[in-house]
């Protein structure tokens, strides 16, 4: 019927950054961070834990579970906004590290929605190339894109990577459909500049450096409304009731956003997988890390309906339904 997930994997940097650690860096405290975001700890990369290296280990773990070797992979897609280079892509570095010699590779930039957008790309590719195998990865080291003097943002983000191996399968399993949206007119509520242009004629007077910049309250409002709309539209289009969803894996941005979303779409809290307390917001990596944890914890059984949804810079947002 569509693209199925053969295996999942993840990789988190070793170093744990606690709320107490952040108290040493900016004017904040554990109580504020916990009550406003639900986050207790996040991971921070050290030497040797660049985005492509986390991505490679996550991919190896997913391939091991899938029983697939690197030389069987036809396409590598990495969703990221924090590759260590702009060119080549992070996906090309992963391809090199794995020795996936027949694969072509590229990155997707859809911020926190990157994995979801990549999953839709992969599904549609596999419907045309039915024998292909795809490695889809979400990987970030946002610690390198964070302004460590800005308490509004530096408490939120974390590093990590998650991966899945996908192939096409006839039958009832696989991706049922997705509902993806963007609104570039709202770019300035959540953004990150590139390095300053070497062409002085190109306007860049306001380039503050490549740090995440965010209007938190505005993002919060749009995030809840947009994800709710995307989920409702998708359920309606696919004629699926929320009560038949077995597990929901939302982008792990903030516990308050998730709680609001959960109550608005009317899904039972026990059916929602949440790990934001451990890893913070890992952008494009958050859904595949959560998916791997949920899968390894036995939260997904054959035939379960999985609902994923996300919201991020762009704005970009959406939802997808998959039969496990
Ligand atoms: O993938 C999407 C990515 N983005 C997000 O998920 C972010 C969505 N937004 C949010 O989660 C929330 O807006 C935040 C958690 C970022 C902020 O929570 P808030 O309840 O919206 O707080 P606020 O921005 O309205 O700030 C309230 C107060 C301010 O002080 P004053 O002006 O009232 O005196 C802030 O300066 O809290 C202050 N504040 C902090 N205090 C202690 C902001 N950051 C901190 C901090 N520690 N880290």
Give 114-137 pLDDT, tens digit per residue.
Answer: 999 999 999 999 999 999 999 999
Query: For residues 136 and 288, what is the distance between their CA atoms, to the nearest angstrom?
Result: 9
Give the single-character DSSP code of 197.
P
Give 104-118 pLDDT, tens digit per residue.
Answer: 999 999 999 999 999
Residues 6+ apart with CB under 8 A from 189: 214, 215, 218, 219, 222, 315
Closest atom of ligand 1 to CA, residue 153: 16
Closest atom of ligand 1 to CA, residue 152: 44
Question: Which residues are designated catalytic?
Answer: 112, 251, 281
pLDDT per residue of the chain (324 residues) written in tens, 0 to 9: 789 999 999 999 999 999 999 999 999 999 999 999 999 999 999 999 999 999 999 999 999 999 999 999 999 999 999 999 999 999 999 999 999 999 999 999 999 999 999 999 999 999 999 999 999 999 999 999 999 999 999 999 999 999 999 999 998 899 999 999 999 999 999 999 988 888 878 877 667 778 999 999 999 999 999 999 999 999 999 999 999 999 999 999 999 999 999 999 999 999 999 999 999 999 999 999 999 999 999 999 999 999 999 999 999 999 999 999
Nearest C-alpha to atom 44 of ligand 1 is from which residue? 152
122 C-alpha to center of ligand 1: Å? 36
- List the beta bridge partners of residue 2: 169
Ligand 1 close to Cβ of residue 312 (< 6 A): yes
* All domains of the chain in start order, with CATH: 2-171 (3.40.47.10), 175-323 (3.40.47.10)
The tally of CA atoms less than 13 A away on the side-chain side of residue 184 is: 1
Quick one: pLDDT at residue 253? Answer: 96
- Cut 0.95: pTM above it: yes
Cα radius of gyration rounded to whole Å, the chain:
19
């Amino acid at each position: 019927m569509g693209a199925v997930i053969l295996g999942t994997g993840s990789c988190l940097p070793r170093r744990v950054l606690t709320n107490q650690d952040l108290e040493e860096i900016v004017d904040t405290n554990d109580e504020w961070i916990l009550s406003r975001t639900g986050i207790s700890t996040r991971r921070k990369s050290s030497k040797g834990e660049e985005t492509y290296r986390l991505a490679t280990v996550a991919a190896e773990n997913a391939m091991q579970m899938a029983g697939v070797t690197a030389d069987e992979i036809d396409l590598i897609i990495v969703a990221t906004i924090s590759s260590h280079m702009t060119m080549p892509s992070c996906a090309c570095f992963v391809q090199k590290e794995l020795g996936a010699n027949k694969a072509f590779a590229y990155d997707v930039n859809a911020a926190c929605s990157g994995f979801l957008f990549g999953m839709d790309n992969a599904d549609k590719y596999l419907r045309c190339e039915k024998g292909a195998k795809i490695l889809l990865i979400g990987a970030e080291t946002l610690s390198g894109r964070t302004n460590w003097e800005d308490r509004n943002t530096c408490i939120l983000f974390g590093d990590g990577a998650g991966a899945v191996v996908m192939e096409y399968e006839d039958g009832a399993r696989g991706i049922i459909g997705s509902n993806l949206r963007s609104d570039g007119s709202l770019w300035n509520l959540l953004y990150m500049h590139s390095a300053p242009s070497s062409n002085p004629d190109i306007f860049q007077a306001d380039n503050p450096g490549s740090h995440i910049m965010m209007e938190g309250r505005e993002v919060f409002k749009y995030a809840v409304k947009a994800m709710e709309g995307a989920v409702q539209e998708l359920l309606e289009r696919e004629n699926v009731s929320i009560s038949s969803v077995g597990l929901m894996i939302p982008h792990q941005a903030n516990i308050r956003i998730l709680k609001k979303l959960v109550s608005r779409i009317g899904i039972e809290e026990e059916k929602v997988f949440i790990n934001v307390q451990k890893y913070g917001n890992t952008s494009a990596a958050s859904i595949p890390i959560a998916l791997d944890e949920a899968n390894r914890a036995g939260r997904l059984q054959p035939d379960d309906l999985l609902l994923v949804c996300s919201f991020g810079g762009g704005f970009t947002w959406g939802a997808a339904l998959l039969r496990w």
